[in-house]
Amino acid sequence: MGRKRLISVLGGILLVVCCAAVSCAQNQPTEILPVEVVHVGQLPVAITGVELVGSAKGYQLRCSLTNNSDEKLLGFRYAIVAIDTDNAKTSVANRSEAWELRPYATKRKKFETLLSANLKNQVRLVLMLEQIVGVESIWEVVKAKDLLDAYTSGDFSKEPAVLRVPNHVDVGPPLVVPVRIKP
């Protein structure tokens, strides 16, 4: 009776260990691809260490973000283009991501949105920030698509222009200060 119980306990432990190993292996990245970044100096955020982390489900964007402004940032819109050996360009992503970054802070972030692109034969991946959304302002790269196309074609002479406009949507309620008037 004791021997059957021991075998049963050891079998249960072995099953738990195997399940944990399989689960851990599924969460490990299968591939990490470096991503080149088009630098736009007038934007309030610097993005570095950009890579696509691949798994069985797809790719996720991972990067470091630094807020170089005095306002809280809420998110961005970006585009990623893949260039193969024949210099053919393929759009990998053009999407918006929400995140928060307080003024003058840095954060390493992995975005949960999956990119379902086939990147096996790509030589180069290039990311460009197109828009940054802050609590008080929105920064928009003018003609971002044309600039990214020129950059990926080898024309580095085009200088990006950025338009900054007030953000009337995400601004909190105005600060009301009571004023007393003495008679």
**Is residue 16 included in any domain, yes or no?**
no
**Is residue 175 included in any domain, yes or no?**
no
**Is residue 176 included in any domain, yes or no?**
no
Q: Please tell me the predicted confidence (pLDDT) of residue 25.
A: 46
Q: Please tell me the predicted confidence (pLDDT) of residue 174.
A: 63
CATH number of the domain enclosing 112: 2.60.40
Which ranges of the chain would DSSP assign to H, the alpha helix? 2-27, 144-152
Q: Give 152's contacts (C-beta < 8 A, 6+ positions apart).
A: 81, 83, 89, 124, 126
Q: pLDDT truncated to tens, each residue of the chain (183 aa)?
A: 566 665 665 555 665 555 554 454 455 668 889 999 999 999 999 999 999 998 888 899 999 999 999 999 999 999 999 998 888 898 889 999 999 999 999 999 999 988 877 777 677 999 999 999 999 999 999 999 999 999 999 998 999 999 999 988 876 666 666 777 776
Dist. CA 112–CA 117, nearest whole Å: 15
Residue 13 burial (CB < 10 Å; 0-12/13-18/19+)?
Answer: exposed
How many residues in total does the chain contain? Answer: 183
**Is residue 18 included in any domain, yes or no?**
no
**Is residue 147 included in any domain, yes or no?**
yes
Q: Give 106's contacts (C-beta < 8 A, 6+ positions apart).
A: 64, 65, 66, 67
C-beta separation of 65 from 47 below 8 A: yes
**Is residue 160 included in any domain, yes or no?**
yes
Residue 128: which domain range?
31-166
**Is residue 183 included in any domain, yes or no?**
no
Domains in the chain: how many in total? 1
Q: Please tell me the predicted confidence (pLDDT) of residue 171.
A: 63
pTM given for the model: 0.75
**Is residue 9 included in any domain, yes or no?**
no
